[in-house]
Structure 1
Amino acid sequence: MTLDVNSLATMGAVMRTGSFAAAARELGYTPSAVSQQMSALERSLGIRLFDREPRRVTPTEAAHYVQERSEQVIDLLGQLEVDLARLGAGETGRLRVGTFDSAGGPIMGQAIARFLVRRREVQITLDEGEPYELFPRVSDGGLDLALGFQYDLVPRKFPDNLRLSEVMTEDLYVVAHRKHRLAGRPSVRLEELHGETWVAHREETPSHHCLQELCARSGFRPEIAFRSNNLGTVKGIVAAGLAVAMIPQLSYRPDEDDVVALPIAETMPRRQIVAATRADDANPLTAAFLGAMRRVALP
Structure 2
Amino acid sequence: MTYSTAVPEPGPHGAKTTHMAAGPDTDVVGIAPDPAAAEGILADNPPVDPFEEDTHTRAKEIIARYPVARSALLPMLHLVQSVQGYVSQEGISFCARHLDLSDAEVSAVATFYTMYKRRPCGEHLVSVCTNTLCAAMGGEAIYKKLQTHLGSEDAPLGQEETAGTPNEPGSITLEHAECLAACDLAPVIQVNYEYFDNQTPEKAVALVDALQAGKKPAPTRGAPLTNFKGAELQLAGFFPEDELTYRGDVDGPSQAVETLRGAQIAADRGWTAPATQDVPLPELEKK
TM-score, normalised via structure 1 length: 0.22
- TM-score in terms of structure 2 length: 0.23
Specify which structure has the higher proportion of strand.
Answer: 1
* Greater C-alpha radius of gyration: 1
